[in-house]
Amino acid sequence: MNEKLEAFGRLLKIMDELREKCPWDREQTFESLRKLTIEETYELGDAILQADLQEIKKELGDVLLHIVFYAKIGEEKKAFDIADVINSLNEKLIYRHPHIYGEVDVTNAREVEQNWESLKLKEKGRKKKTVLEGVPASLPALVKANRIQEKASGVGFDWEHPEQVWDKVKEEVNELQDELTADNRDEIEAEFGDLFFAMVNAARLYGVDPEAALERTNLKFIKRFNYLESQTLKKGKDLKGLSLAEMDKYWDEAKKLE
């Protein structure tokens, strides 16, 4: 523990020095750091998807730097400091885990999630009054859909059994097909959205992160397509000049190499 505290103390000292002496660090604000924080978060996400432990360690450091940076700016504004940030987090964790620090009994993770959402709504001094207000508006649509569904589920708005979701998925597919047949452009977009939302729900119910699942497929497609392109170039050809059958041949080769 002492080693960890010393490391964290050293980081805080370095942050103080950078904020005082470095022209770039001195100019940063909450607003200027925001886009960089988002970028660092995505880089951490990439490292996690790649299961690269050394890269995860590095990216966690970058994210931690941003947290310390924001706390330092808050301290300068006499609004809060890093101790306030950590103490607030400690209190929240204890309050929202009454099954650990209180007398509440739970039997599974789902009950923990439901208690968490209920307790969030009861916290004193909270500005947010509804379940879904806590979902950031700037989240990417796929991540937002998953978070909305998790929060709704946390207060009991969910299917009793995962397999029940497939009736909804089939319903959305049929409605989309109807609009495609009618060539109703506005409704086609709406029905695609409904279908995507239903599929995100299905993934959640089966314990699959839809963002990670889609990114896994993205990476798989990129790998196979790059193989297709490289083999085409080796033969002195151009992708546009290949037939679909020739492309499928290289695609199947790429699949076999995985």
The pLDDT assigned to 240 comes to 85
The pLDDT assigned to 186 comes to 87
Cα–Cα distance measured from residue 197 to residue 189, given in angstroms and rounded to the nearest whole number: 12
Six token digits for residue 249: 């041949």
The pLDDT assigned to 239 comes to 86
CATH superfamily of 2-86: MazG-like (1.10.287.1080)
| Amino acid in position 235 | K
- The domain segmentation of the chain, as residue ranges, is 2-86, 159-208, 212-257
The pLDDT assigned to 124 comes to 53
Cα–Cα distance measured from residue 141 to residue 212, given in angstroms and rounded to the nearest whole number: 14
Residue whose token pair is 């923990």: 112
DSSP label at 103?
A: S
The pLDDT assigned to 46 comes to 87
Cα–Cα distance measured from residue 92 to residue 162, given in angstroms and rounded to the nearest whole number: 31
Q: Is 71 left (phi over 0), alpha (psi -120 to 50) or beta?
A: alpha
Q: Dihedral of CA 178/180/185/189: which sign?
A: positive
Mean pLDDT by 10 residues, the chain (258 residues): 94 97 97 93 89 96 98 98 96 89 81 74 63 86 94 89 96 97 94 97 95 90 93 85 88 89
The pLDDT assigned to 246 comes to 87
CA 241 from chain centre, in angstroms, equals 39
Q: What is the DSSP string of 126-166?
A: -S--SGGGGS-TTS-HHHHHHHHHHHHHHTT-S-SSGGGHH
